[in-house]
Structure 1
Amino acid sequence: MSTSDNWIAVDWGTSRLRAYHVVDGAVVAQADSENGMSRVSQTGAFEAALLELVTPWLSEGTTDVFACGMVGARQGWAEAPYTAVPADPLPKSPVRVENTDPRLRVYIVPGLKQVKAADVMRGEETQIAGFLAQNDNWDGVICLPGTHTKWAHISAGEVVSFQTFMTGEFFALCAEKSVLRHSVGEGWDAEAFRDGLDATLSRPESLAARLFGIRARDLLEGENGAVAASRLSGLLIGAELAAARPYWLGQNVAVIGAGRVAENYAEALGVQGVPVAQQDAQDMTIAGLMAARTLTEIEA
């Protein structure tokens, strides 16, 4: 482990790059850009994209950087091969990026893979590690809402299994690309969300028909766009919860996320009588990268 109290945590996703300057265990500055992996991988200019954000934080000598997310994908800065579950969410030896600027010593946390049924995650494992670092001996299920929502079964400090649902991406496709784009608007209506949730939790097979019902209501009744958006969210999350029932039923459940989407999952589980521990995704990412740094024997 490094004795330096000055280092940088990096969450490098597909669409955004987020960096946090950590001093004495606290975040003292942060910066972000649109230089996510999908953009930077076209030029390979990962180091330049990082330095654009963090140069003001660098001190004399070498500064440690611990990164998670898509930066470790095959098309990323350096491939950090997946670790197969069941496994600790953090490896003892993250991948070190070779031939970097001498001011940087960069490590990338690998993702997790599941062979049967096939599944992968990058970035969420670090949030899980952050949660476990702050909750000793916690067993249960962690839900990580997002574009591709993850449900991870945790036991004895390991990720035993996990499952991914494309619910967030389906919402975006329906709201922006399908016929429902003419009906879905901005805003929130709690009653419409609950209606949609109840409909597909009890009958998930009705999802496709219920989705078109959103458009029909608008045409026949002039339904408000916020009501349509809330009903769409409820229908999709309800169908997901019905499929994920073996994960959350009778379990301790934590939701790690941000904003309205995390609140929606927490509310949906609460409706089913499931108590939920809710945590912020950014906080858990930073805590996970702190845990990764603690575990790592820093190379000279």
Structure 2
Amino acid sequence: MVRPDWIAVDWGTTRLRVWAMQGSEVLENRSSDKGMGSLSRDGFEPALLELVEDWLGDQPIPIIACGMVGARTGWAEAEYRHTPCTPLDPQRATRPQVNDPRLDVHILPGLSQIDPPDVLRGEETQIAGFLAQNPDFEGTLCLPGTHCKWVIITDGRVEGFHTFMTGEVYALLSRQSVLRLTIGDAKPDRVSFLEASAQAATNADMAAAGLFPLRAAALLNGLTPEQGAGRLSGLLIGSELASAHPLWHGRRVVIIGAPELSSLYAGALTQAGADAHQLDGGELVLSGLTAAATALTRNT
């Protein structure tokens, strides 16, 4: 029988992941498709209990949670801490009301920036996990995804960050615009991607000017869906690199995210002359949650 001394929770929009923890050791892990986006406010506690109830004893157990569970439409809205600041402060976690007294839930706060206005939620835990393993890091973290976050790290603090909606724009264009007839769900061809990203990284206007030619090239020149996907992705990511130039130029950059998407960013950045390194972000959330649990225990 698994009896953890605390439970780690990563609750995103589409997925819920939980780990039974003994200190920093994982005893067991589970997941479900009951992400924030599919739940009403009174559905969060039952969704959590479905996964963890047999881990619970008779006494309250600390549950450290991050991600969209703390969004305005989540279980309970967690605050945004203003940067510059450390990535995590578990003492400022939000404590949602629960019906089961065995659940001692702490939802970690996100981060915000006033000028230019920006917010992040969930990535702060990945950042904390990275810094727990690399405490002397100075430079920029790039966290690709639906919304890509560029985060400046100095002295173990988040100095500032900037969000680009590149992944969402790609999804909209490839699935809902005329380009769906050219690209659909094709995987990006890497050669086409690198060619387009090189063009757009030095001229951000290429992203807008090069869109319809993708459809025309499919009709006239035999452009394949994979080549079209590569060029579209390259134009958008290259344009992002052009806009984010002050955030990565002359800095060490670590790309944290899913391997396939991170590889595209790493290729585009290296081609543009950046000192870029790729890291799988899968385990960093758990490392950050562990750091938060340790800090919470130390201060109680």
- Aligned equivalents of 1:26, 1:186: Cα separation in 2: 39
Matched residue, 2:5: 6
- Contact 1:149–1:164 at 8 Å: present in 2 too? yes
- Aligned equivalents of 2:295, 2:59: Cα separation in 1: 22
> Displacement, 1:275?
2.6
Instruction: Report the more deviating stretch, 156-165 or 90-99.
Output: 90-99
Q: Give the aligned residue type for 1:137.
A: D
Q: Give the aligned residue type for 2:237.
A: I
- Contact 1:146–1:257 at 8 Å: present in 2 too? yes
> Displacement, 1:106?
0.9
- Aligned equivalents of 1:65, 1:58: Cα separation in 2: 11
- Aligned equivalents of 2:99, 2:141: Cα separation in 1: 35
Deviations 1:189-209, CA, capped at 9 Å, x for gaps = 211011110121111112112
- Aligned equivalents of 2:214, 2:99: Cα separation in 1: 52
Paired residue secondary structure (1:254) = strand
Deviations 1:75-98, CA, capped at 9 Å, x for gaps = 211221100000111014122233
Paired residue secondary structure (2:42) = coil
Instruction: Report the more deviating stretch, 238-247 or 68-77.
Output: 68-77
Matched residue, 1:82: 80
Matched residue, 2:164: 165
Matched residue, 1:275: 275
Deviations 1:234-258, CA, capped at 9 Å, x for gaps = 1110000000000000001111101
CA separation of 1:212 and 1:168: change in aligned 2, threshold 3 A: same
Matched residue, 1:99: 98
- Contact 1:5–1:25 at 8 Å: present in 2 too? no
> Displacement, 1:299?
9.3
Paired residue secondary structure (2:21) = strand
> Displacement, 1:181?
0.4
> Displacement, 1:188?
3.7
> Displacement, 1:33?
1.9
CA separation of 1:287 and 1:229: change in aligned 2, threshold 3 A: same
Match of 1:66 among 41, 48, 64: 64
Match of 2:48 among 50, 60, 63: 50
Identity %: 46
- Aligned equivalents of 1:182, 1:286: Cα separation in 2: 40
Matched residue, 1:291: 291
- Aligned equivalents of 1:107, 1:217: Cα separation in 2: 53
Instruction: Report the more deviating stretch, 71-80 or 272-281.
Output: 272-281
> Displacement, 1:102?
2.0
Q: Give the aligned residue type for 1:226.
A: E
- Aligned equivalents of 2:203, 2:152: Cα separation in 1: 25
Paired residue secondary structure (2:187) = coil
Deviations 1:42-65, CA, capped at 9 Å, x for gaps = 352110011112223334433221
- Aligned equivalents of 1:262, 1:126: Cα separation in 2: 18
- Aligned equivalents of 1:46, 1:16: Cα separation in 2: 12
Q: Give the aligned residue type for 2:131.
A: L
RMSD: 1.8
Matched residue, 1:219: 219
- Aligned equivalents of 1:100, 1:273: Cα separation in 2: 54
What TM-score does the superposition give when structure 1 sets the normalisation length? 0.93
> Displacement, 1:23?
2.9
Q: Give the aligned residue type for 2:266.
A: A
Instruction: Report the more deviating stretch, 244-253 or 31-40.
Output: 31-40
What TM-score does the superposition give when structure 2 sets the normalisation length? 0.93
Paired residue secondary structure (1:90) = coil
- Contact 1:16–1:32 at 8 Å: present in 2 too? yes
Instruction: Report the more deviating stretch, 172-181 or 204-213.
Output: 204-213
Extract unaligned runs of 5+ from structure 2.
Answer: none
- Aligned equivalents of 2:113, 2:99: Cα separation in 1: 31
Extract unaligned runs of 5+ from structure 1.
Answer: none
Taking the TM superposition and a 5 Å limit, the aligned residue runs for 1:114-129 are: 114-129=113-128
> Displacement, 1:146?
0.4
Matched residue, 2:129: 130
Matched residue, 1:242: 242
> Displacement, 1:270?
1.4
Paired residue secondary structure (1:160) = strand
Taking the TM superposition and a 5 Å limit, the aligned residue runs for 1:138-217 are: 138-184=137-183, 185-217=185-217
Q: Give the aligned residue type for 1:279.
A: L
